Amino acid sequence: MTTIHELGTPSALIDTQRMERNIRRMQDRMRALGVRFRPHAKTTKCLPVVQAQIAAGAQGITVSTLKEAEQFFEAGIQDILYAVGIVPGKLVQALALRQRGCHLTIITDSVAAAREIGRFGVAHGAVFDVWIEIDTDGHRSGIKPEEDALLQVAEVLQDAGMVVGGVLTHAGSSYDHDDPQALRAISEQERAGAVRAAQRLREAGFACPVVSIGSTPTALAAEHLEGVTEVRAGVYVFFDLVMRNVGVCSMDDIALSVLTTVIGHQEEKGWAIVDAGWMAMSRDRGTQKQRQDFGFGQACSEDGAVLEGYTLSGANQEHGILSRAGGPDGRIAERFPIGARLRILPNHACATGAQHPEYHAIAADGRAEAWPRFYGW
Amino acid sequence: MTTIHELGTPSALIDTQRMERNIRRMQDRMRALGVRFRPHAKTTKCLPVVQAQIAAGAQGITVSTLKEAEQFFEAGIQDILYAVGIVPGKLVQALALRQRGCHLTIITDSVAAAREIGRFGVAHGAVFDVWIEIDTDGHRSGIKPEEDALLQVAEVLQDAGMVVGGVLTHAGSSYDHDDPQALRAISEQERAGAVRAAQRLREAGFACPVVSIGSTPTALAAEHLEGVTEVRAGVYVFFDLVMRNVGVCSMDDIALSVLTTVIGHQEEKGWAIVDAGWMAMSRDRGTQKQRQDFGFGQACSEDGAVLEGYTLSGANQEHGILSRAGGPDGRIAERFPIGARLRILPNHACATGAQHPEYHAIAADGRAEAWPRFYGW
C-alpha cells in the first residue's frame, strides 16, 4: 500500500472525496433541472474518473480528440460526442470508430465541412450523426442562431442522408466573469440561443432531438433549462483557482493539486524554491486577469490546508518560486525547510493534469492509488 | 514511407536541416571559445536529438529530472549532470544510477542540503560528485560568488568525503533582454561570477576542476569564456519565437513547429479556427512582454514559409484562433479554407515539445520519421 507520504515529487494528486462531492453536486443539479448530463472527458483523460461520473448518472461523454474517443470506447463507453468541428482528414478515423460499434457523434458549423461529411458518408455508405455547433456568445466557433447558414448546413447534411441529430453550444465566455448575475445572464443567453436554433431547425422540418449546452460556470449558474436536453461540463470534476475566481466553487472544492518538495531558498528575497515548476503546473496563468492572481498556484500543506498568501510567484521548467504575497517572509527557510512537502492548487485543472502521466488518487485515509491518464492525438 | 502530407494534426514537426544547422552553430562556437559543451536535454527529451548533439561534439548532457537521467543512461549516455538542486528524498534514485555505472553529477546551493548529501553518502558508502550552484543574476537558485555559504557548503561536502567537482551557474535573466550589448554584459557577469566562485574555492584548497555556465542567449553572446570549462544550453537546438525576440536567432532558424488543419471560420471577425489549441502549443505566452507578441504562435504554410502577420491570437484546449495582426482579414476563409494545413512556430520550444508524445522529424525531401519523446518524473 502506497500513501501520500511515499510519493515522489512532483506528482498530481486527486482528493477523491472532493472529486466525488463535485460529481454529486453537478449530477444532482442536472437531475433537478431535468436534463441529461454528458461530462467532458478532456479535463482528466482518465478512466477511473470518467467511470465515477458515469456511476453517478452521466449519460455518455464528450471528448476533444478522436484519441479520447478511441481510448474511452475501448474501455466500454459507447455514447461519445466529439465536440470539435470535424475536418475531412479525420473522417476516416471517425468512421472506423462507428464501424466498431461506437455511437460517435460529430459536429460542424459550416456548409463547406457539411458537404465534405456528406460526400464522405455517401462514398463509404456511412450515416453520421451530426450536431450543428451554435455560437451564442462570440467566443469561438459556431453558427449564430438566426444565421441562414444554420438551415443550409442542415439541408446539406440531410440531402446526403446524414442525421441532423441536434444542436450544441459552449458559452466559453462565461470564464471571463465573476458576478453571479452576469453568469446567470450568460447561462440564459446560452440556453435561449441553443433552443432558438433548434426551434428554427424544427420549423424547417428537422427533428433536432438534442439541444446540448454547457460549460462549468453556466451549468452551475442556470436558473432553468427549458428546451435543453443535455448539459456538458468538464472542469467541475476537479475545479481549480480560475473557477474559484469565477465564483462557482470554493478553495475547499478543488480536488486536484501538485505535490512538491522544497529544494532550496533565497532567504533575503523570501523565496523557497520547490520542485514543481511549469512542467508540473503547466504554463497556465489563468488567474492573472482575474480578481485574485495566484501566480502559478496556491500553496497548501501536505495534508491540504491552504497556506493563506503563499503562492508560486514564478516558475521555470522544474523550479517553482514560492513566496508570500504582500511582502517577503523573512522566516521562509524556517517555515518551509529543505525537504518539506507541500501541495499546490492549480490555476487550470485541464492544463495541469495534461502535464502528468498519471494522477495519484488519495483516499480519506491517505492511501494513494495510481490512475493513469493518456495524452497526445 | 510517411511524408509530412500524411501526418495527422496536430503534430510536432522538427525541420532536421535547421536542427542540424543549430547544433553545428553552437558546437562550432564552443570550439572557437575553447570550452566543452554539455547540451540540456530537457528541451527535447528525445534520444535522436541528443544523439545528434553528441555526434557533433557535445561532451555529456544536462538533465532537469532524474527520469531524464535514467532514460538517457539506459540509452548509453554516461556523463550526466542533474542541474536541479537535489533534495534528500531523491538521493536513493541518484545513488541507484551511480551504482549502475552512470557518472551522475548532482548540485546543491545550501549547507542544509550539503549535510544531507554527506550524511546519505556516508551511510551508503557512496561518494557523490557534487557541484555548487552559483547565483550570478538573482534569477533563481544559487549562492552568490562572495557569500560565506560557498566555502561552508564545500567544507561540509569534503568533510563527508564527497567530491566538490565544480561550480555551475545559469543566467536565466538573459531571456529578459533583447539588446546585444545587454546580453554581452549578462554573459560576462555570468562568466565572471562563476570564475570568481571557483577562484575562492581554489584559494581555500578545493580543486574545483569544473566551471560550468550557460543559457542559450549567454552562450551565443559571450565574447570570451576565460576560466570557464564548459557551457550548457538547451533551447538553441530548436530555437523559438522567444529566442527570436531576444535576438539570438532568426525566424528561419526555428526548427520546431506544430502542423495543424483549418477546421472552421468566423468570417466577420477575420478568424480561421485551427485544430492546434493550447494542448498542442502549450499555454506559454513568452512573447507577450517582448518586442513582438506572437500570441500562441506564428503561422507558416505547410512547407514552412512564414505568413507575415498571421498568428494564433487565441487558444482553447483543442481550438486555435488564427487571425491577422493589424486588422481582420476579410478573405480569411478563402485564404485558409477548411482542410488547409499550416505550421505554427512556437513561443517556447521546451513547453510546446512537452505537449507531444513524439516529434516527426522532417527531412529535406519531406519524409517524416517519428522520434519519440518521454515525459513525467
Instruction: Please tell me the number of Cα atoms within 13 Å of A291 on its side-chain side.
Output: 10
DSSP H helical ranges for chain B: 16-33, 47-55, 66-74, 91-99, 111-123, 148-159, 180-203, 216-221, 241-246, 278-281, 332-335, 349-353
Question: Cis omega (within 30 of 0) on the bond before B10?
Answer: yes
* pLDDT, tens only, A101-139: 999 999 999 999 999 999 999 999 999 999 999 999 998
Question: What ipTM does the predicted assembly reach?
Answer: 0.97
Q: Which of B237, B259, B290 is the last residue in one of the domains? A: B237
* pLDDT, tens only, B239-298: 999 999 999 999 999 999 999 999 999 999 999 999 999 999 999 999 999 999 999 999
Residue A200 shares a structural domain with residue A280: no
Residue A217 shares a structural domain with residue A335: no
* Other residues' Cβ atoms within 10 Å of the Cβ of residue A38: 27
Whether the per-residue pLDDT at B123 is higher than 90: the answer is yes
Chain B's closest residue to A316, CA to CA, is B140
Please give the sequence-ordered ranges of beta strands (E in DSSP) within chain A, or none if there are none. Answer: 2-3, 11-15, 36-39, 61-63, 79-82, 103-108, 129-134, 163-169, 210-213, 230-233, 256-266, 271-274, 298-301, 306-315, 320-324, 341-345, 358-362, 367-372
Considering only the beta carbons, identify the residue of A262, A265, A283 that sits closest to B284.
A283
Q: How many CB pairs under 8 A join A and B?
A: 149
Residue B46 shares a structural domain with residue B175: yes
Mean pLDDT of A149-159: 98
Q: What is the amino acid identity at position A157?
A: L
Residue A311 shares a structural domain with residue A168: no
Considering only the beta carbons, identify the residue of A87, A317, A319 that sits closest to B338.
A87
Q: Is A276 left (phi over 0), alpha (psi -120 to 50) or beta?
A: beta
Hey, is A131 helix, strand or coil? strand
B375 vs A contacts (CB less than 8 Å): 355, 357, 375
**Predicted local distance difference test score (pLDDT) of residue A49:** 98
Work out the burial of residue A272: count CB atoms within 10 Å of its CB; fewer than 13 is exposed, 13-18 middle, 19 or more buried. Answer: buried
Residue B144 shares a structural domain with residue B50: yes
**Predicted local distance difference test score (pLDDT) of residue A58:** 98
Q: Quick check: is B2 in a domain?
A: no
Inter-residue contact B203 to B246 (CB < 8 Å): no
Sheet (strand B163-169) strand order? B36-37, B230-231, B210-213, B163-169, B129-134, B103-108, B79-82, B61-63
Work out the burial of residue A119: count CB atoms within 10 Å of its CB; fewer than 13 is exposed, 13-18 middle, 19 or more buried. Answer: middle
Interface of A with B in 185-224 (CB under 8 A): none
Percent of chain A with pLDDT over 70: 100
Compute the distance between CA of residue A281 and CA of residue B284 in angstroms, rounded to an integer. 12
A240 in B contact zone (CB under 8 Å): no
Residue A166 shares a structural domain with residue A295: no
Nearest to B260 by CA among B323, B312, B191, B184: B312
Residue A173 shares a structural domain with residue A310: no
Compute the distance between CA of residue B90 and CA of residue A216 in angstroms, rounded to an integer. 39
Output the average pLDDT for chain B.
Answer: 97
Q: Which of A237, A259, A279 is the last residue in one of the domains? A: A237
Mean pLDDT of A316-340: 97
**Predicted local distance difference test score (pLDDT) of residue B117:** 98
Whether the per-residue pLDDT at A270 is higher than 90: the answer is yes
Residue A106 shares a structural domain with residue A155: yes
Mean pLDDT of A199-204: 98
Q: Residue B1's pLDDT band (boundaries 50, 70, 90)?
A: confident
For residues A134, A137, A138, A142, the Cα torsion angle rounded to the nearest 10 degrees is -10
Distances (CA, A) of A369 to A7, A372, B287: 10, 10, 39
Domain extent, residue B336, equals 251-372
For residues A193, A199, A201, A202, the Cα torsion angle rounded to the nearest 10 degrees is 160
Domain count, chain B: 2
Compute the distance between CA of residue A346 and CA of residue A344 in angstroms, rounded to an integer. 6
Q: CB B319 to CB A113 under 8 A?
A: no
Compute the distance between CA of residue A91 and CA of residue A106 in angstroms, rounded to an integer. 9
Residue A224 shares a structural domain with residue A318: no
Tell me the pTM: 0.97
Specify the CATH number for the domain of residue A213.
3.20.20.10
Chain B's closest residue to A261, CA to CA, is B87
Specify the CATH number for the domain of residue A366.
2.40.37.20
**Predicted local distance difference test score (pLDDT) of residue A260:** 98
Q: Quick check: is A52 in a domain?
A: yes
A278 vs B contacts (CB less than 8 Å): 284, 351
Residues 6+ apart with CB under 8 A from B180: B221, B247
Q: Quick check: is A182 in a domain?
A: yes
* pLDDT, tens only, B323-359: 999 899 999 999 999 999 999 999 999 999 999 999 9
Residue B125 shares a structural domain with residue B263: no
Whether the per-residue pLDDT at B116 is higher than 80: the answer is yes
Considering only the beta carbons, identify the residue of B141, B354, B356 that sits closest to A279.
B354
Whether the per-residue pLDDT at A1 is higher than 90: the answer is no
Residue B59 shares a structural domain with residue B172: yes
Mean pLDDT of B173-195: 96
CA-CA-CA-CA torsion sign (B117, B82, A345, A355): negative
Q: Quick check: is A357 in a domain?
A: yes
B356 vs A contacts (CB less than 8 Å): 376
Q: CB B316 to CB A172 under 8 A?
A: yes
Q: CB B264 to CB A338 under 8 A?
A: no
Q: What is the amino acid identity at position B303?
A: D
Output the average pLDDT for chain A.
Answer: 97
* pLDDT, tens only, B200-225: 999 999 999 999 999 999 999 999 99
Considering only the beta carbons, identify the residue of A8, A265, A338 that sits closest to B377.
A8
Instruction: Please tell me the number of Cα atoms within 13 Å of A163 on its side-chain side.
Output: 13
Inter-residue contact B107 to B86 (CB < 8 Å): yes
Q: Quick check: is A203 in a domain?
A: yes
Q: Quick check: is A233 in a domain?
A: yes
Whether the per-residue pLDDT at A232 is higher than 90: the answer is yes
Q: Quick check: is A64 in a domain?
A: yes
Question: Cis omega (within 30 of 0) on the bond before A10?
Answer: yes
**Predicted local distance difference test score (pLDDT) of residue A197:** 98
Q: State the nearest Cα–Cα gap between B109 and chain A, in angstroms.
A: 7
Q: A222 φ, ψ to 5°?
A: -60, 135
Compute the distance between CA of residue B371 and CA of residue B8 in angstroms, rounded to an integer. 15
Q: Quick check: is B28 in a domain?
A: no
Hey, is B1 helix, strand or coil? coil
A115 vs B contacts (CB less than 8 Å): none
Q: B164 φ, ψ to 5°?
A: -90, 90
Q: Which of A202, A237, A272 is the last residue in one of the domains? A: A237
Cell digits of residue B367: 519524409
Neighbouring-strand partners of residue B134 = B143, B169
* Other residues' Cβ atoms within 10 Å of the Cβ of residue B330: 12
Interface probe, candidates B279, B336, B371, chain A, greatest A C-beta count within 10 A: B279
**Predicted local distance difference test score (pLDDT) of residue A37:** 98
**A55, containing H or E segment:** helix A47-55
Inter-residue contact A296 to A320 (CB < 8 Å): yes
Considering only the beta carbons, identify the residue of A284, A319, A377 that sits closest to B283.
A284
Residue A227 shares a structural domain with residue A317: no
